[in-house]
Amino acid sequence: MDFKNSDTIPGPRTEDHLPHTAQAAVKIVIVGGFGVGKTTMVGSVSEIRPLTTEETMTQAGIGVDDNYGSESKTATTVAMDFGRISITDQLVLYLFGTPGQERFWFLWNGLFEGALGAVVLIDTRRLEVSFDVMGRLEERGVPFVVAVNSFPDAPRYPIEELRTALDLSPEIPIIECDARRRASSRDVLMTLMRFLHSLAMSGALT
């Protein structure tokens, strides 16, 4: 990038500027296997055109040890798209569409640690691609809801059959959605927030 010509660096459109009163941000991660609709969901609810943050990792970090220690470490670029929703003049919500593989997560500090919670997107044609990520969230204690992205040719299972297959306890919400539709994606986020709220309430009672 040519920083000498920094006047031409693309920035937010004027209408996308956050107010000066914006004091803090929270984040939610949208996670799932390859091609399940993460980018689509981020884009459908974001108030800004979705953006991409990248990080590079060397092969040693990927866990491929064939070339470990060799001079030519190849670097892989990992991209993560994200969007934004202004909640109040003070509070901003960011949504990150995160690759399912945990080996990428450490590239961004606190991506999961600080998140309010997660949406796990699943595609019933390839349920198993989201198994690992759910286990990782369970291990880390990140609360999540499951959103079933309705692809037209995908098998439709009753929710309770899915719950059994995914081995999810009864309180974890499972909902159908169409990630291309803003209202549907918004409902998924609302379901996550209500779930987090119920966890907070029950936590407060014990």
Partner 1 sequence: MTPPQRKRRRPRPELAPPPLPSVPPTPESGGEDGDNKNPERLYVISGADGARAELDLVTLIVARAAPPPSVTPEQAALLRLCLAPLSVAELSAYLNLPFSAMTALITELITAELVQARAPIVRQALPDRSLLEAVMHGLQKL
* Spatial separation of the C-alpha atoms in residues 179 and 75, rounded to whole Å: 32
Segment contacting partner 1 by CB under 8 A, of 32-40, 59-67, 160-168, 173-181: 160-168
103: contact with ligand GTP by CB under 6 A: no
Binding mask 38-67 for ligand GTP (x = CB under 6 A): xxx---------------------------
What is the size of the binding site for Mg ion (CB under 5 A)? 2
Strand, coil or helix: what is 17? Answer: coil
82: contact with partner 1 by CB under 8 A: yes
Dihedral angle, C-alpha 65, 68, 70, 71, nearest 10 °: 110
Residue 35 or 85 with smaller CB distance to partner 1? 85
Token pair listed for 50: 């979705």
Backbone angles phi, psi at 111, to 5 degrees: -55, -50
Label residues 94-118 b or e (16+ Cβ within 10 Å = b): bbbbbbbbbebbebeeebbeebebb
Judged by beta carbon distances under 5 to 8 A according to partner kind, the member of ligand GTP, Mg ion, partner 1, none in contact with residue 83 is none
Q: Between residue 139 and residue 158, which ones bind ligand GTP under the rule CB under 6 A?
A: 149-152
Do residues 157 and 124 lie in contact, with contact meaning Cβ atoms separated by under 8 Å?
Answer: yes
Judged by beta carbon distances under 5 to 8 A according to partner kind, the member of ligand GTP, partner 1, Mg ion, none in contact with residue 92 is partner 1
39: contact with Mg ion by CB under 5 A: yes
Residue 96 or 112 with smaller CB distance to ligand GTP? 96
Neighbours of 85 (CB within 10 A): 16
72: contact with partner 1 by CB under 8 A: no
Residues lying near Mg ion in the complex (CB under 5 A) are found at 38-39
